[in-house]
Structure 1
């Protein structure tokens, strides 16, 4: 069944929403009077299509269509989810919401990307106030999972639908239980921003020095532990109580000027802008976005490997995108995109990652025959005894590939697999692997016959794949 999302306002945030929905299989309609909207969104989607799949081992859903509409009523009619991302003017948002609700389905979720307005302010005077929620994301929307979901007076059914849809497209809906200006995250950001302005204005630090303090220090901690958990660890074995007792008195010291906002003069604006230009003006915005996206992919994948914070969310979402292997000959055991953290100084995938690819392929096959996690936890598994990998062509970051696997031998405790790694765009052979595995008891760490149901499944595949041995010998 086709799912439709409408994006009203195609700026940086709207474009990010469009990219995430489309890459997660939704058809997307866009309304934006900007004559450059189609070009701008195409560039955002291109960047997202390169970056987002790198987070997943599973194949991405079939990409949804993106269409542009000159008529707002046409764009929202029949949509399941509507995201308003117009400029932060309450009168404009009220006008847009009125027109949306005049044509939208009553069951559609109407989310607003507003970073400051409360839902009650958006719902005021609306035809169906219970249909409206704040769904405030963070840039880039297609990579960062957080979305602040603020219901206000929205219907519970609307909130449930919004949470379900946002979760399905890989986001983390943070339920903001009470209305407050700027919600939760932007209040933190505003406090840090104000302090940073004072540090620059008073000549204490440059824009680059402040950014370095964040990216080389607490920013990395916050990425996986947040604020309070970070401070809990800082309290040592005694935990948060000790931390509060030790550092609580500092709150009364004149360390910050958070309650005193510097005057936004032209001199201050020039000072900030000049320093920022000196810091990174040599890069285009697209180059900076590429750097940002690649770094976020690497950080999030690292967290994914540790099953921590946002990485755990991606791991769980990854599992929902996987599908059964089926009974094809050969079996397609892997479909994915090469992530940036798999490449070396030459710009191509390094040798160790080919081993990872074929290891993943064999694990998928083992799961397919019943040697899954439960089987391993019961004390049985297959161990690789020998690998013969041939590297036939370069594989670059962002390239999509797949692995075809054949069971060349499946008898007793022996399992031999033949893997072919191919580029998705042209089916070019990138690498092959002749892999020999032995079934092992995890109690004795010695080889032994598989359990009957696994052996039967392996023998069935070996029979189906028989007669293709010459491929492994070629």
Structure 2
């Protein structure tokens, strides 16, 4: 069972729901969204934009053709034809029951219904459903489009087959499903986080540390360890050559010391809420939520890419999962051009003829090149070192007309690559019709800006470019390749 689905429905378009939308669309799944909030389309668009920015830099393989996004007026309209329905409405039991009952009544009989609840029992959610056997809790972590873990929890009525099918679906989306053996409130991840959160609240309440200082303690120490080994393996190493048994004997007695406030919770009165909120505002230093999300995404991409580079290319932790996902993507798309950008033609791109104006084609091709460079590893750090690829030659052919609101995507074929040169062929297509709107052949040189000369790229960069060039070597050469201005057709 490969878990591949063609269409999904997302009921609820808040932070988590929008994250599901982004992961599904960028893995080639069409998504219908239903959310009555007037802000839903804006929130989904903003989260999807962040995902389009970060995911191509995360994966060292081309993403599939993006799925289609549609907003539906009703639950029944949204779930029609869906292989997966992901519910992400607010954490209120009666609301979730009502929504899940409506989903169950309208969804195809073979659809898996996943709830994003972070703590409600699936057995409680199943009450009132005609087909409760297909409901599973599928609890993700924010941002859903980058963090791969999803906790799967079955209720009393959930069948083993539904859990198996759900595991296959989420695996096909590049996730790491962990099936919880028995349903408990808050599952596993949130129980562990809740323990840390309770202690952190007491530390702020008692004036021991500020929110920034507590976050610094986490992110400059054990947070880095947890990113790649987790808790138990970290403590196994702490036990030295004698391992976990020695660690437990040495530090186990400390568990009986009366210092913890774990079973007690400070009263979240207005004074404590104000203190935490004020310190959090100061910590944010004026950055908006979307700006903080982009910083978070950049950091997560860098950490996971670093983990993917470990162990002789096998990867470690979340990096190993990336390697596996990349291998699967390459096996599916190795004979296809890279699909790097997609969007719709905005009003400001339209000229007096009612079509996309000339210089915007160059802008889209330039953005496509930037997306290609980001995918092969030319990130901000690489550019800051004074090295990058520079476009030295471009030939554009205008082949079709793009009107306001027209959906488009771009593809890239690597024609040739060596240690200094990168020869590419881009196309802009109408996503609906498949018609080619324009093509661009470009030559790029890898340059050391400080030395002001072409130099060989970094070895890992050369290896990634060479792998792409090899994958594209057996593709047909574009007919427009090598043309010059004024050349006759044929």
Place the TM-score, normalised by the shorter chain, in its bin. 0.7 to 0.9
**5+ long unaligned stretches in structure 1:** 329-334, 355-389, 408-414, 437-456
Instruction: Give RMSD over aligned pairs.
Output: 3.4
Partner residue in 2 for 1:89 = 92
Does the alignment pair 1:257 with 2:270? Answer: no
> Residue 342 of structure 1: SS of its match in structure 2?
coil
2:444 pairs with one of 431, 451, 454: 431
Instruction: Judge conservation of contact 2:236–2:243 (CA < 8 Å) in 1.
Output: yes
Instruction: Judge conservation of contact 1:207–1:272 (CA < 8 Å) in 2.
Output: yes
Partner residue in 2 for 1:316 = 324
Instruction: Judge conservation of contact 1:23–1:62 (CA < 8 Å) in 2.
Output: yes
Instruction: Judge conservation of contact 1:19–1:45 (CA < 8 Å) in 2.
Output: yes
Match runs of 1:193-272 below 5 Å: 193-272=197-276
Does the alignment pair 1:26 with 2:39? Answer: no
Structure of greater Rg? 1
Partner residue in 1 for 2:282 = 278
Q: 1:435 to 1:136 in 2, by over 3 A?
A: same
Partner residue in 2 for 1:338 = 374
1:125 pairs with one of 128, 138, 145: 128
CA distance in structure 2 between the partners assigned to 1:340 and 1:276 by the alignment: 36
> Residue 29 of structure 1: SS of its match in structure 2?
strand
CA distance in structure 2 between the partners assigned to 1:52 and 1:123 by the alignment: 34
How does the TM-score come out when normalised to structure 1?
Answer: 0.75
Instruction: Judge conservation of contact 2:5–2:83 (CA < 8 Å) in 1.
Output: no
> Residue 86 of structure 2: SS of its match in structure 1?
strand
Partner residue in 2 for 1:158 = 162
Q: CA deviation at 1:123?
A: 1.3
1:134 pairs with one of 137, 145, 149: 137
Q: CA deviation at 1:155?
A: 1.3
> Residue 65 of structure 2: SS of its match in structure 1?
coil
Q: CA deviation at 1:158?
A: 1.2
> Residue 62 of structure 1: SS of its match in structure 2?
coil
CA distance in structure 2 between the partners assigned to 1:268 and 1:417 by the alignment: 58
Deviation string, structure 1 residues 165-217 (Cα, Å, up to 9, x no partner)? 10001011011111111000000111111100000111110000000011111
Instruction: Judge conservation of contact 2:60–2:376 (CA < 8 Å) in 1.
Output: no
Q: 1:194 to 1:292 in 2, by over 3 A?
A: same
Q: 1:417 to 1:11 in 2, by over 3 A?
A: closer
Q: CA deviation at 1:68?
A: 0.5
Deviation string, structure 1 residues 382-422 (Cα, Å, up to 9, x no partner)? xxxxxxxx76389xxxx988452459xxxxxxx99975146
Partner residue in 2 for 1:37 = 40
